[in-house]
Amino acid sequence: MVDDSELKEELSNLRRHFHENPELSDHEFETTKFLSGYLKKLGFKILTFPALKTGVVAEIGPDNSKGVVALRSDIDALPILEETGLDYASKNKGVMHACGHDFHMASLLGAAILFSENKAKLKNKIRLIFQPAEETHNGAQEVIDAGAVKDVKAIIGFHNKPDLKSGEVSILTGGQMAAVDEFNVFIQGKGTHAARPQLGSDPIIALTNIVNTLQTIVSRNEDPLKTTVLSVTHIEGGYTWNVIPEKTWFEGTVRTFSAEARAIAKQRFIDIVEGLSKALDVNAKINWIEGPEVVNNDRELTPLVVEETQKHFKLVDAEPSTAGEDFSFFTNKIPSVFAFIGSEGNSDWHHSDLIVKDDGLITAVKWYYYSALRIQKYFDK
């Protein structure tokens, strides 16, 4: 196997390349070209799926496979102005790998190096999926719709975790990351002079009452022993000091860890918005946008991967994350395992100053590699 110091240097160079050249969701054209070229040099076959405009699906291993094991990395960046001061900071102003997808891509390419060097150990095909558009929660479904996982028997993936140290890995049985829903609410009232409020229907009063009452969903409707998060993150209304406006609006998100909690949150949200709107004599329109579901680790595969992980790395118990991950679209179709791997960052995901350490890359590479080999044995049973 390639020397760790040489591998780490290569991985560090790869991550810096990706970090300097971030691209937004479904526009990862140069990233796709780079990944394809690199994988071809390693002897991987690039699989073509006409419906996929960006992203790369590549394969290595014997033709007489009992099953295909897939390894996934996301590849897109965020519309964030980087403020790290790094000498390899983004060259694309206003676009940044602020979630560590550069770390993920470098890690999966590192795993590709190990698979290429150890083809004789492969009893099954190994498929690498460099997935576009995770940040918009579209990419995993695009990969599925394109037919890129129809013959996959198991899939694994990970997300870097800035609050875990390099060398640490966390894998939970069941829900690892939350279901994510987005909402927009548009409130139509009747404007009037602020001195004569009785002549109008105040959408600001309606908005503030609705926003405050929505917090009772978590405190009074959901199970207090289970996690639900409801956050209103943006409100707008009014344009001057002495006029009650015609309309207001707000938006935000709900995060849950079960189908039951998700259904309760949505129904109570609708009840509150509609009930208070009627009581306060305004009209409200709800736009509810369902995002990815809970990332649920498979109950049969996870113990195998955990057992293998413990042989090589420090296994820790990280809390489930209320952030969302469209890897959940895979977990709903295919036996899956998703991990957190320490990147020892200075900040959290989606922050403009996030800097992750290269020290965790070797851990991520070998976690991909050893986990895939262990899953091959599972197919042999």
State the pairing for strand pair 192-193/243-244: antiparallel
> Percentage of residues in the chain with pLDDT exceeding 70?
99
- What local confidence, expressed as pLDDT, does residue 72 receive? 98
Confidence band (pLDDT; 50, 70, 90) for 117? very high
| Beta bridge mates, 201 | 190
pLDDT tens digits for 152-185? 999 999 999 999 999 999 999 878 999 999 999 9
- What local confidence, expressed as pLDDT, does residue 307 receive? 97
- What local confidence, expressed as pLDDT, does residue 1 receive? 64
Is a pLDDT exceeding 90 seen at residue 377? no
Going across the sheet that includes 283-290, the strands are 228-237, 247-256, 179-188, 283-290
- Report CA 291 to chain centroid distance, whole Å: 11
- What local confidence, expressed as pLDDT, does residue 39 receive? 98
The residue type of 277 is S
Mean pLDDT of 30-35: 98
Q: Where are the domains of the chain?
A: 4-176+294-380, 179-290
Beta-carbon neighbour count of residue 33 at 10 Å? 12
Q: What is the DSSP letter of 41?
A: H
Q: Report d(CA 270, CA 277) in Å as an integer.
A: 11
Check if the beta carbon of residue 226 is closer than 8 Å to that of residue 214: no
Check if the beta carbon of residue 356 is closer than 8 Å to that of residue 162: yes
State the pairing for strand pair 56-60/126-131: antiparallel
pLDDT tens digits for 206-251? 999 999 999 999 999 999 999 999 999 999 999 999 999 999 999 9
Going from the C-alpha of 9 to that of each of 69, 115, 358, 362, the distances in angstroms are 27, 18, 9, 10
Confidence band (pLDDT; 50, 70, 90) for 381? low
Beta-carbon neighbour count of residue 196 at 10 Å? 9
Mean pLDDT of 84-109: 98
Check if the beta carbon of residue 56 is closer than 8 Å to that of residue 49: no
Is a pLDDT exceeding 90 seen at residue 3? no
| Topology of the domain comprising 4-176+294-380 | Aminopeptidase (3.40.630)
CATH number of this structure's domain 179-290, picked from the four choices 3.30.420.40, 3.30.160.100, 1.10.10.10, 3.30.70.360 = 3.30.70.360
Going from the C-alpha of 75 to that of each of 28, 58, 212, 375, the distances in angstroms are 7, 14, 38, 24
Is a pLDDT exceeding 80 seen at residue 42? yes
Check if the beta carbon of residue 251 is closer than 8 Å to that of residue 184: yes
pLDDT tens digits for 318-357? 999 999 999 999 999 999 999 999 999 999 999 999 999 9
Mean pLDDT of 95-111: 98
pLDDT tens digits for 262-289? 999 999 999 999 999 999 999 999 999 9
- What local confidence, expressed as pLDDT, does residue 232 receive? 98
Q: Report d(CA 265, CA 253) in Å as an integer.
A: 11
Going across the sheet that includes 314-315, the strands are 45-47, 56-60, 126-131, 68-74, 152-161, 336-342, 168-170, 314-315
Is a pLDDT exceeding 90 seen at residue 64? no
Confidence band (pLDDT; 50, 70, 90) for 66? confident
First to last CA, the chain: 27
